[in-house]
Structure 1
């Protein structure tokens, strides 16, 4: 005989929903890894999870909602296993660590990576991809604060993101036995040369106004001796220099 279900507003019901939701996401992540996006249908996920399709619609809204949850779960799991390293005294070395994390994630989770970066709606970045992008923004800002960024932060972030994602997509499109491991490294060296000054260049000499403006712009939130209005005006002036 079917057991009575707890009232939906009780803590027991909420806990049961969370457990079922987590179970379905894990099952869907396994199907995605094994068979790609086409393998993650509501029917196949429901069957593998031991539930029914209406449960998936109730918990996730639709297939896109389920895939969004899978993306967040997959990326969070990867970051838990290989978290970004804490900042060091060399922000470009820190950027390299983040780059290697991005490349490693893509090659270790090809279907998840393709869903995050190649299967998106134009003008929309999935939450999981946005989390990775925010880590990249922080790395770029640290380079700016060190006085070594020679283009504006927004452009530098987009350049590194495009190069890193392009490198992974290129490697994934190449048969594994023919992949050249030097590709990602050469791409990183090229993009760093385009956005940052060499480490041996003193930031106070020959860095140019753009690097100096980027460094000051990165420190704007810390300039508490200025009013909000003064920081806003200074930010506009610095933005004009870097652009």
Structure 2
């Protein structure tokens, strides 16, 4: 039985309206008035719950992306290899963009200099979390922050390129080629953790130690830890990446 709209919490009604209108718009504009009319509320109610229309649409896309990720991760094979986890994460991200082009158009279709969409920040946070094990194993050739930025920039570019290609000219291998090239550029190329005899550079070792400092207690005080982080950051810079230990 269909529930009376008045029985649905106001915030959920606004989210549902945002989903419907965003998909219907196909990447075009969605007006505040249309959202409020469909949800049966006044504009101040929308602002109360989400701050702005963009805040609502960000919440719509973010919620949809989280649901999509959860569903795909349940289906994906669990891997003890952190690099394989990044590879699977890339594929999931691309799949979301291709299956939900309207949502992706909302994320990247109206960019403004210096203003980041909340969803992008959330995806980058997920990437940083996924990259942490690889960093601790000494398998990153760049810092986790740089790796996350490169993966996000490249995967987003691939998605936008594939979305805009004519249906009869879509190159399904583009994502795989770019993904593997990016992974080659941000990793050490070792298939084994440092502790198992993998190839180690001073940069990857510094990145591993810096990542370990996030969780492991040390005998250093705050000032000493900050100084150590600064030194490790210098060692992990591209200029130092060719040295071996």
TM superposition score category, shorter chain reference: 0.7 to 0.9
In 2 relative to 1, CA 62–232 (structure 1 residues): closer, same or farther, beyond 3 Å? closer
Which stretch shifts more, 167-176 or 220-229? 220-229
| Equivalent residues of 1:201, 1:207 under 8 A apart | no
**Shift in Å at residue 39 of structure 1?**
4.7
Q: Pick which of 187-196 and 127-136 moved more.
A: 127-136
Structure 2 match to 1:21: 11
* Number of residue pairs matched by the alignment: 228
Residue 115 (structure 2) aligned to one of 124, 127, 130: 124
Q: Higher mean Cα deviation, 95-104 or 41-50?
A: 41-50
- Following TM superposition, by how much is the alpha carbon of 1:66 offset from its aligned partner in structure 2, in angstroms? 2.7
The aligned residue for residue 161 of structure 1 is 152
Aligned residue for 2:3?
Answer: none
Decide which of 91, 95, 99 is 2:82's aligned counterpart.
Answer: 91
TM normalised by structure 1 equals: 0.82
**Please, what is the CA RMSD of the aligned residues?**
2.6
Aligned to 1:242: 236
Distance 1:218 1:237, change over 3 A: same
**Alpha-carbon distance in 1 for matches of 2:230, 2:41:** 55
| C-alpha distance 37-200 of structure 1, shift in aligned 2 (>3 A) | closer
Q: Distance in 2 between matches of 1:192 and 1:199?
A: 12
The answer for the alignment partner of 1:174 in structure 2 is 165
Give the Å deviation of 1:188.
Answer: 0.6
- Residue 63 of structure 2 is aligned to residue 69 of structure 1: no
Partner of 2:243: none
Distance in structure 2 (CA, Å) of the matches to 1:55 and 1:150: 48
Provide Cα deviations, 1:20-39, integer angstroms capped at 9, x if missing partner.
12112112111111213535
CA–CA distance in structure 2, aligned partners of residues 62 and 215 of structure 1: 41
Question: Is residue 2:210 matched to residue 1:220?
Answer: no
Q: Distance between the aligned counterparts of 2:198 and 2:37, measured in 1? A: 65
CA positional deviation for 1:151: 1.8
Q: Which of 126, 135, 143 is the matching residue for 2:134?
A: 143
Task: Pick closer, same or farther for the CA change 1:225–1:43 going to 2, 3 Å.
Answer: closer
1:36 counterpart (3, 26, 30): 26
Cα distance, 1:38–1:210 mapped onto 2, change above 3 Å = same
Question: Which residues of structure 1 form unaligned runs of 5+?
Answer: 1-15
Matched, 1:209 2:199: no
In 2, the alpha carbon distance for the partners of 1:18 and 1:231 equals 51
Deviation at 1:187, TM superposition (A): 0.6
Taking the aligned partners of 1:17 and 1:155, their CA distance within structure 2 comes to 47
Query: Unaligned regions of 5+ residues in structure 2, if any?
Result: 1-5, 238-245
Q: Cα gap change, 1:145/1:60 in structure 2, threshold over 3 Å: closer, same or farther?
A: closer
- CA 1:59 to 1:197, structure 2 compared with 1: closer, same or farther past 3 Å? closer
Distance 1:57 1:37 in 2: 22
